[in-house]
Structure formats: structure tokens, C-alpha cells
């Protein structure tokens, strides 16, 4: 499970004011129930989710530690490599997607001293 996948599950659970099951979270995230159940169990072991058992089902809520994790990690930096002929079109599309904070061409205005790719670019 990547950090991004974990935060996706945390955000899905945090979006509800009541405890949710792995099946409900799977529907929200598009992941399989088995994958979601495993991820939620691991997040509970890490203290990011709280688990309550009701009969044969578990339900989860986000803990304060989980909320702090979400607050500290509001964005993810993605490196996207595209055919140069499509770069402008892809950039325009990404800029139109709700939730995308910033799109820029690496090397064009990128300050490699603070580069998220640690200056390793082609």
C-alpha cells in the first residue's frame, strides 16, 4: 500500500460523520473489498483508523492521528512524462481537472535546488 493509497482510504472514511465498513469504503474508492479491508486493517494497526466490531462486521472512523496525517499531506507531486507533441494538450487538460493545484513544465521555471525530483531530470 502506497502513502497515496492510504490517504485515499483515509479521506474516504473522513468524508463520513459515522463509522463505515470496508465494503462502503470500497464503493467510495473503486478498490476491491478485499484490498480495502486489508488496507483499513493496516491503517487501524498504525493508529490512523479506529476499528469497532459489530457482530461479524468491522466499522472504522478516522483517529486524530489520521486527521493530522491528512492535514500534513494535502497534495502529492506527480511526475508525468509525455510525448513532446502532446505536452501542451496534456498540460491544458490537467489544469482543467478539479483538485489539480499546479501544472508546469519541468525545467521551465523549475528551481532544481528545491525540485521535488531532487534535480534528477532529463
pLDDT at 122: 47
| Cell (9 digits) for 39 | 488496507
pLDDT at 1: 77
Q: Which residue is it, cell 490512523?
A: 48
Per the CB < 8 A criterion, the answer to whether 16 and 39 are in contact is no
The domain limits of the chain are 3-72, 77-122
Global confidence as pTM: 0.65
pLDDT at 111: 57
| Choices 3.30.470.20, 3.40.50.2000, 1.10.10.10, 1.10.357.10: CATH for 3-72 | 1.10.10.10
pLDDT at 99: 82
Q: Which residue is it, cell 510525448?
A: 83
pLDDT at 40: 96
> Which ranges constitute the DSSP H helices of the chain?
3-14, 22-29, 33-45, 64-72, 87-96
- pLDDT tens for 21-64 read 999 999 988 889 999 999 999 999 999 999 998 888 899 999 99
- pLDDT tens for 78-115 read 778 889 899 899 999 998 988 888 887 776 555 555 56
Per the CB < 8 A criterion, the answer to whether 50 and 41 are in contact is no
Q: Which residue is it, cell 478485499?
A: 34
Burial class (CB in 10 A: 0-12, 13-18, 19+), 40: buried
Amino acid at each position: 500500500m502506497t502513502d497515496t493509497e492510504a490517504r485515499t482510504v483515509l479521506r474516504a472514511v473522513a468524508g463520513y460523520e459515522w463509522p463505515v465498513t470496508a465494503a462502503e469504503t470500497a464503493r467510495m474508492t473503486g478498490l476491491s473489498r478485499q484490498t480495502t479491508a486489508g488496507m483499513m486493517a493496516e491503517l487501524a494497526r498504525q493508529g490512523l483508523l479506529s476499528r469497532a466490531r459489530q457482530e461479524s462486521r468491522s466499522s472504522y472512523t478516522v483517529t486524530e492521528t489520521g486527521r493530522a496525517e491528512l492535514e500534513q499531506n494535502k497534495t502529492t507531486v506527480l511526475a508525468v512524462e509525455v510525448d513532446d507533441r502532446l505536452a501542451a494538450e496534456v498540460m491544458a487538460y490537467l489544469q482543467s481537472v478539479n483538485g489539480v493545484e499546479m501544472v508546469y513544465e519541468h525545467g521551465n521555471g523549475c528551481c532544481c535546488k528545491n525540485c521535488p525530483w531532487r534535480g534528477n531530470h532529463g
